[in-house]
Structure 1
Amino acid sequence: MARKPRLHVPGGVYHVMLRGNAGQDIFFSEGDRAVFYLLVQEGIERFGHRVHGFCLMTHHVHLLLQVADVPLSRSLQNLAFRYTRWINRERGQVGHLFQGRYKAVLVDADAYLLELVRYIHLNPVRAGLVADPAEYPWSGHRAYLGMETLPWLHTEWVLGQFAKRLATSRKRYAAFVAAGMAEGHRPEFHGGDDDGRVLGEESFLAQVLEAPLAPPPPDLAAILDYVCPRYETNVDALGKPSRTHHLAEARGVIGWLAMHTGAATLTEVARRFHRDLATLSQAVRRIDLASQQDPAAARKLKRAINEITKA
């Protein structure tokens, strides 16, 4: 059965789930979780979305995200790629960390925002890890209670549903979460209802399905057509055994663009050019670092994305 296309609704709220490949762990230390926090914050600054709730478990992640104009797929592909690169480098491994495509459910926030925040923050309680969600350090719950500060977590919208005064809203939020402590698994929050991409009443579903679909990613051929002339090379040359610097850089740019546009995975690009995945990942990392340190390089890559996606 063909996959249903992603739905992109600017301002839409999504329950996102990222799971370890074959159920494997994705966090191995507090340092890993701290890096994930940093990457989430950088993603917010870059793509303009908001995080309203989250929970990091050992082998999966829940995020409650509100997107801006940039489709969810771009920000999550960036997050997954950069975090996978961190883990693989730290643990001396290669290959996939996350299981296939991320799961994302577009949610009717008017009906489900509060319930979803509670559901996500109670995940450690349902898993038997803690008796009180405030005891779990890797979710947004403690920040909602004012027990810690996470500048990138947007708590105002949810707390504003309970009261105008912050102290009162926090007390009412805590009582609301406590009232759901006995709640079990909610399959509809995981996409187990009708159209698994959307959670809401029929009117919300109809409205969403009339919205434009997320634009399909370009194919790898479009990226090759863009990059090859600029490096005065061709596809055959890129696939031959050669350590020439400009060819290695061209492959790195192709890999970077493929990852950022969703055209292909790095594994697919490596296979296309008969290259080792770890070597290609290093080339992509060099391109990524250059874009962060050199504004001109960043503008060049942004222009490339714009031209490729418009083609």
Structure 2
Amino acid sequence: MALIRYIHLNPIRAGNVRDVETLNTYPWSGHSAVMGKSKCQWMDTEHVLAQFGTKKKAARKAYRRFTEEGVNIKYGSELTGGGLIRSLGGWSQVLSMRRKGQKGEFDERILGEGDFVHNILKEAEEKEIRQLRIRFSGKSITDIIKEECKKRQVSVKELKGGSRRNKVSQTRALIAYRSIEELGLSTAEIARHLGVATSTVTRAIERGEKLNNA
């Protein structure tokens, strides 16, 4: 459970979200799935909740309390350091590979064996290259705002005025999604440009992804 908590709190440590309350609706963390705020097909949320109680409501409350208690914890090397040792599961595995003349791929930020780490890094690298190309082209969130507003016939003033009209909400959602996907901006930075709260941006990103893939 300590490992799950550590992983789920990563967005707070990275500064993508402010606190656990905001994390509840952050779609890029398994925490929101455990809290029932988003769906994550590959994650066994029932198994996680079962560690905190038999009744779902009480279990979620206990899980959230457990997660909140981890916000100010300073984690040791068992979770934060020694990439190769941790990725392979311990020194014995490292020594065994050295004796066989094998090499393993690792990264201190990722828990998992070589192939898994390789795939994660490859996906991250491709995404970062894509974002860098767009940034070097001079494109900014202001350009994305203008593009989406023109496409959907929404004024920038109405967009930033907090309007909840469906067309405006959809435009805001697509801007938020494109800004994080194409430019790699933080939710806080997107929120500043859209004139809304960070929690609103978090929900908008999830909606924007669905609209983009529809």
TM over 0.5: no
TM tier relative to shorter chain: 0.3 to 0.5
> Which structure shows the higher helix fraction?
2
TM-score norm. by structure 1 comes to: 0.32
TM-score norm. by structure 2 comes to: 0.44
Greater relative contact order: 1 or 2 (C-alpha under 8 angstroms, separation 6 or more)? 1
> Which structure shows the higher strand fraction?
1
